[in-house]
């Protein structure tokens, strides 16, 4: 009966050890890759959500109109502006048909939406927080009830640029108080610059949304027989 020699046992143990080392290395490499992928996905989720909200609000923006209905159709303003009920300067103010209809919220689907940057509660945090502020009751005679929604943290800057058919404008105001623009832009470009160590060289998150603009006119339509 033939038995294993000491050299054969040592060789077998050595081979088994190398196999275990290779398996252990592959296992931990896959775990690190999984964790890194999960971190990337978790970091991208708030950005994707913020971009989806901005795109949907812009796609459903309501065309400004004259007369008393202006309360419900509102105005479209972009740039460093102020908005009623919002303490910080806002990057954009729009009236958009993205309101959710329900029995508990007796308002129309048109709501006023603003996007603004606010200082984070944690003073040690990098950058500022991007908020989406919503006003549902557009007919209130008092200070409007503003609902703030945190969209994204760690933002250095956000910019809304409007296309008038020829050039991109850094400001837009359909009220006619600060500019001659009375209609919606043909498209809106949104640039979100994230904060961090590589903020100076990192490319901003860019979103371009076409808008179905309708011409606003002062002509009063009359019925003809």
pLDDT at 168 (0 to 100): 95
For 120-166, the pLDDT digits (tens) are 988 888 899 999 999 988 888 888 889 999 999 999 999 999 999 89
Q: What pLDDT is attached to residue 214?
A: 59
Contact 183, 115 (CB under 8 A): no
pLDDT at 98 over 60: yes
Separation CA 209–CA 161 (nearest Å): 11
Which pLDDT belongs to residue 124? Answer: 83
Region 44-66: mean pLDDT is 88
The 10 Å CB-count burial string (b at 16+, else e) for 83-112 is beebeeebbbbbbbebbeeeeeeeeeebbb
Asked if residue 164 lies in contact with residue 181, where contact means CB atoms within 8 angstroms, the answer is: yes
Q: Which helix (H) or strand (E) holds 149?
A: strand 146-163
Q: How confident is the model at residue 180 (pLDDT cuts 50, 70, 90)?
A: low
Q: Is 8 exposed, middle or buried (0-12, 13-18, 19+ CB in 10 A)?
A: exposed
Q: Give me the chain's average pLDDT, please.
A: 83
2-48 pLDDT, tens digit per residue, is 677 878 788 888 888 898 898 888 888 887 887 777 666 666 688 89
Backbone angles phi, psi at 7, to 5 degrees: -65, -40
| Residue of 118, 124, 127 lying closest to 150 (CA atoms) | 118
């Amino acid at each position: 009966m033939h038995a294993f020699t000491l050299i054969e046992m040592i060789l077998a143990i050595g081979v088994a050890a190398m196999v275990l080392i290779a398996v252990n290395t592959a296992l931990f490499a896959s775990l690190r890759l999984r964790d890194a992928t999960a971190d990337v996905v978790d970091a991208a989720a708030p950005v994707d959500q913020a971009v989806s909200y901005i795109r949907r609000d812009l796609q459903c923006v309501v065309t400004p109109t004259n007369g008393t209905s202006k309360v419900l159709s509102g105005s479209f303003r972009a740039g460093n502006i102020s908005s009623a009920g919002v303490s910080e300067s806002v990057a954009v103010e729009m009236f958009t048909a993205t309101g959710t209809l329900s029995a508990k919220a007796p308002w129309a689907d048109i709501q006023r939406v603003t996007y603004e940057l606010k200082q984070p509660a944690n003073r040690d945090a990098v950058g500022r927080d991007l908020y989406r502020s919503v006003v549902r009751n557009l007919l209130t005679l008092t200070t409007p009830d503003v609902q703030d929604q945190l969209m994204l943290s760690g933002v250095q800057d956000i910019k809304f640029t409007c296309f008038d058919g020829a050039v991109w404008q850094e400001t837009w105001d359909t009220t006619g108080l600060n500019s001659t623009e009375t209609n919606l832009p043909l498209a809106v470009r949104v640039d979100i610059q994230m904060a961090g160590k590589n903020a100076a060289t990192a490319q901003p998150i860019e979103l371009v949304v076409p808008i179905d603009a309708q011409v606003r006119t002062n002509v009063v339509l009359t019925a003809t027989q």
